[in-house]
Every structure is written in structure tokens, then in C-alpha cells.
Amino acid sequence: MDKLTPEQRHKCMSNIRSFDTKPEIFFRKALWEWGVRYRKNVRSLFGTPDIAIKKYKIVIFIDGDFWHGNDWEKKHFSSQEELLSSYSDYWQKKITRNIERDKKVKKHYQNIGWTILRFWTSETEKNLNKCIIKTIKKINKIKKHMG
């Protein structure tokens, strides 16, 4: 049961950004400092990646832990029944759809030979440098193969 009124919930939900979130901005600024040039929120690419480095055929997604189901079935729940009772039917369906869409996006980029990197928001907040280093290493590996 929701503890907020419908008006409060609407106001809260309308403030949630789908792009240019703080973790995305911090990630992009760090990439830029490393000299990596990119495009953001490229609608012409499947799944509208948060960051696209077309030169190296890399797409990067910074996924919100809740929205994209980061261990959502394991978090704070002792059983599957507790999970199902904690999330309304709407949220269960929404998160499941997001997870399925993320799998389709991953498969698409694998099929066309692109590299897809996904980072959880919590991962970027806890250790941004580790995420950036992983990205830089991937770029350098692709550079080597390009000759």
C-alpha cells in the first residue's frame, strides 16, 4: 500500500529523470577528462544508449538499480512471496519489462559486433573510477585490434 497520496506520488514520480541523471553526468565528465569523446542519448541507436562512442562501436548504459531490477528479487526479501507482496503488480510488470528490454538491447549490440557496457547507478556512485577504468581498458583493447 502506498504511503503517499496520489498527488504526492505524481509529484515524486514526475521529478524522476530518464536521462541526464547525476550518475550519467558524473560518468560523462570523467570520460571527457580522460579525453574520450562521445555522444549522449543517441536516439538513432537501438535502445537510446546514455553514451555512444561510435568510433569504437561502444554503447554505455547507466541503469537505475530500482528501474532496471538490480537484484530486485534478492534485495531485502527472505522469500519470493515477500517480494511479490512488497511490489505492486504494476511495479512487478514494469521492472520485468525493463529487464527483458535490456536483454534485447544487449543481444542486438552483440549481434552487430558492438560492445555494450552497463553500469548500475549504485556502482558508479560507489566507485566511479573503477567504471571509468573498465571503459578505458575496453577502448584501448578495441584500439589495438583496429591497428
Domain residues of the chain, as ranges? Answer: 17-146
Mean pLDDT computed over every residue of the chain: 85
Q: What is the pTM of this model?
A: 0.81
| Tens-digit pLDDT profile for residues 66-110 | 778 887 666 545 555 555 556 677 777 888 899 999 999 999 999
Three-class DSSP category at 121: helix
The pLDDT assigned to 70 comes to: 84
Q: Indicate the burial class of 124 (C-beta count within 10 angstroms; 0-12, 13-18, 19 or more).
A: buried
CATH architecture of the domain formed by 17-146: 3-Layer(aba) Sandwich (3.40)
| Tens-digit pLDDT profile for residues 7-22 | 665 555 555 556 688 9
